[in-house]
Amino acid sequence: MSALRLPIASPTLAVGTFTLRALKPDDASAIHARVNDWNVIRMLSRLPFPYPADLAAQWIAETLRQAREGRAYHFAILDSSGQLIGCVGLTLGQGAQKNAASLGYWVAHSHWGQGVARQAACRVCRWAFAHLGLHTITATAAEDNAASCALLGRLGFRQTGKGEQSFMARGGKVPVQHFTVTQPELDAALRPGTPEAEAQTSPVQRKLLLVVAAALLDPDNRILLAQRPEGKALAGLWEFPGGKVEPGEELETALVRELYEELGIDVGRACLTPFTFASHAYETFDLLMPLYLCRQWQGTPQGREGQALAWVHADDLASYPMPPADLPLLPFLRALL
C-alpha cells in the first residue's frame, strides 16, 4: 500500500539572522521589485524578462495552492528587519518520484555574496528531510552560475549530470548542471565548525523587544491614541504612546522619557500605574510591552513627531486600527472604563 502524503503546514524557520516563512499575497510588490533584475532573472529558467508586475501575485497564489495540496513549499527569505530579500522553495515529485523534491532559490542582487541562499537552502533542505519523508533533493543550476554550483557543492550536493535547459529570460537553451543530495550527504556537509553548521545549529535567538506604553486617560475616561507616522513600522496604525526601553533603563524612566519625547508632557513616575502587558510574536521579533495607566500629567499632549492624536472612548476603540499586539488589551480597557 503506498503511503498517502498529507500536506503539512508551512513552518516559519529561523536560520542565522534570517527568517523563512510562507509567502503572503502582499509580498508581490517586494518580489517584483527584487526579481525583475537581469542579474537575478537570467539565472532562473522559468521567468521572463522584464517580469510583469502581476506575475508575482499569480505566482504567490499558485505557491499557496501548492502548499495547501502538499505539492510544493515556497518561503520568503526575510532579513533581520523583516525585509523580503529572496525566495527559496521545494517542489515535490509525483508518483514514482514522490520521495524526491527539487530545490529552487533566488536572492536579491543587493544581498549576493552574504551566504543568504546557502543558509536558506540548507535550512529548507533540513526541514524537508525531517518532515516530508524525502530520500533525495535535486537542483539544477546554469553552468555559468558559479555561485550556485559552489553553494550546492558546499551543502553536499553531488553533480549527477549536465544538460541543456530553456531559460525564458535568455530566450534559448543554456548549459546546466544537475545535482542531487541525500540526507546523510547533507548531514556530512554540515560538519561541526563549518559556517553552514554554525548557522544551522545555533540560529540566532529571536529578538525580544521591550517597549513601554501608556494609556493616558482624560477626565471623561477617554484614552489617548497616537497614529504611527509614515516611514515607521506599522505606519498608520493607532497605538498607545510609548517606545523602546534603552539598554539599562528602568521601565518607568523609559516611559516618562518617551511621553515627553512623543507628546511633550511631563509625567511623574508615581502617576504611572502598571495595568497589563502585551506579548506578541511579530515576524522577526517578540514584543513584550507593559502597559501603564496614567491620569495625571503636566502639559497638553501634542504629536511632537508629526503623529496624529485622538482621544477615544473605550467603546470606540474598534474604529481605530491598532497593531495586532494591542488587540488583546482592549477588552481589559473596556472592562475598566
Ligand X SMILES: Nc1nc2c([nH]c(=O)n2[C@H]2C[C@H](O)[C@@H](COP(=O)(O)OP(=O)(O)OP(=O)(O)O)O2)c(=O)[nH]1
- How many residues form the binding site for Mg ion (CB under 5 A)? 1
Q: CA-to-CA distance for 116 and 237, rounded, in angstroms?
A: 32
232 binds, among Mg ion, ligand X, none (CB under 5 to 8 A by kind): ligand X
Give the shortest CB-302-to-Mg ion separation in angstroms.
15
Query: Residue with the closest Cβ to ligand X?
Result: 243
Q: Does 51 bind ligand X (CB under 6 A)?
A: no
Q: Which three cell numbers stand for residue 216?
A: 493616558
Return the number of the residue (23 or 213) whose C-beta is nearest ligand X.
Answer: 213
CA dihedral 193, 196, 199, 201 (to 10 degrees): -70
Q: Does 213 bind ligand X (CB under 6 A)?
A: yes
Query: Residue with the closest Cβ to Mg ion?
Result: 243
Return the number of the residue (129 or 297) whose C-beta is nearest Mg ion.
Answer: 297
Which of 44, 60, 85, 287 touches ligand X (CB under 6 A)? 287
List C-alpha distances in Å: 28 to 84, 106, 111.
Answer: 10, 15, 19
Which secondary-structure segment (H or E) carries 102? strand 100-107
Binding mask 227-246 for ligand X (x = CB under 6 A): -----xxx----xx-xxx--
252 binds, among ligand X, Mg ion, none (CB under 5 to 8 A by kind): none
Return the number of the residue (187 or 249) whose C-beta is nearest ligand X.
Answer: 249
Cis geometry, peptide bond prior to residue 50 (ω within 30 degrees of 0): yes
Residues 64-103 that bind Mg ion (CB under 5 A): none
Give the shortest CB-262-to-Mg ion separation in angstroms.
6
Using alpha carbons only, what angle is made at residue 86 by residues 117 and 28, rounded to the nearest 5 degrees? 165
End-to-end alpha carbon distance in the chain: 63
Q: CA-to-CA distance for 147 and 258, rounded, in angstroms?
A: 47
Binding mask 133-172 for ligand X (x = CB under 6 A): ----------------------------------------
Count H helices, E strands: the chain?
9, 15
Q: Does 206 bind ligand X (CB under 6 A)?
A: no
